[in-house]
């Protein structure tokens, strides 16, 4: 055995640097019985929850992802970004495209289209007759003419604008 230690190759450390018998090398390491964050996350994500009294039990991870997809479909920017990040982690080799969701109006006949547009424009104001009172009051207050609404708008603008 002395021949193996004297030859070339890896050797054990000197005796003064070796661990004592019965002692671990990492005294302040992870305590026994503790759970890693990965195992704890997996345990929580796979725990089943029931949605409603009669609904099927689904894992929490599935419920969270479904909620995220619903939020992204409704147009919440944070949910769209989160969906993109998760998708990129699942499929890292695919190119990330800067595309979006295309919502297409239903195909209408010309008469149906005109009827829908007339209904949408029924409450529209004529831009030539519309007066923006808040802008006028703000301009008066900025010019030094005291009006209650103008002073309030100007004070708000000075504070936040």
Which whole number is the average pLDDT over 24-37? 78
For residue 111, the model assigns a pLDDT of: 93
The torsion defined by the Cα of 72, 76, 82 and 84, in degrees rounded to 10, comes to: 60
Domain residues for 65?
A: 41-91
Residue 4 confidence (pLDDT) above 80:
no
Instruction: Give domain status of residue 147, yes or no.
Output: yes
Which whole number is the average pLDDT over 134-152? 85
Backbone angles phi and psi of 98, in degrees to 5: -90, 40
Of 32, 65, 91, the position where a domain reaches its end is: 91
Whole-number average pLDDT of the chain:
83
Query: How sure is the predictor about 26, in pLDDT bands with cuts at 50, 70 and 90?
Result: confident
For residue 152, the model assigns a pLDDT of: 86
Which whole number is the average pLDDT over 122-133? 80
Which region, left, alpha or beta, applies to residue 82 given φ > 0 means left and ψ of -120 to 50 means alpha? alpha
Look at 32-41, 77-86, 89-98, 120-129 and tell me which has the smallest mean pLDDT.
89-98
Give the Cα separation of 27 and 125 in Å (integer).
77
Instruction: Give domain status of residue 80, yes or no.
Output: yes
Residue 109 confidence (pLDDT) above 60:
yes
Selection from 27-31, 33-37, 102-106, 130-134 with the highest mean pLDDT = 33-37
Count: domains in the chain = 2
Instruction: Give domain status of residue 125, yes or no.
Output: no
Instruction: Give domain status of residue 25, yes or no.
Output: no
94, two tokens = 């695919």
Instruction: Give domain status of residue 50, yes or no.
Output: yes
DSSP-derived secondary structure for 86-100: HHHHHSTTSPPP---
Give the Cα separation of 111 and 21 in Å (integer).
92
Helices assigned H by DSSP within the chain: 2-6, 37-46, 60-74, 77-90, 110-120, 133-143, 148-160
Query: How sure is the predictor about 97, in pLDDT bands with cuts at 50, 70 and 90?
Result: low
Structural contact between residues 124 and 111, judged by C-beta atoms closer than 8 angstroms: no
User: What percentage of the chain reaches a pLDDT higher than 70?
Assistant: 91
For residue 24, the model assigns a pLDDT of: 65
Distance of CA 13 to the CA centre of its chain: 50
């Amino acid at each position: 055995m002395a021949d193996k230690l004297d030859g070339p190759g890896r050797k054990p450390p000197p005796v003064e640097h070796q661990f004592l018998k019965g002692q671990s090398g990492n005294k302040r390491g992870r305590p026994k019985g503790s759970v890693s964050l990965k195992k704890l996350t997996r345990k929580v994500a796979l725990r089943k929850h029931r949605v409603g009294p009669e609904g099927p039990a689904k894992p929490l991870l599935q419920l969270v992802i479904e909620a995220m997809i619903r939020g992204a479909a409704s147009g919440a920017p944070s949910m769209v970004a989160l969906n993109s990040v998760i998708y990129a982690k699942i499929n890292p080799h695919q190119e990330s495209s800067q595309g979006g969701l295309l919502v297409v109006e239903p195909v209408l006949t010309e008469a149906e289209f005109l009827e829908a547009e007339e209904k949408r424009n029924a409450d529209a104001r004529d831009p030539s007759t519309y007066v923006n009172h808040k802008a006028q009051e703000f301009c008066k207050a900025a010019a030094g003419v005291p009006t209650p609404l103008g002073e309030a708008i100007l004070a708000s603008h000075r504070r936040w604008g």
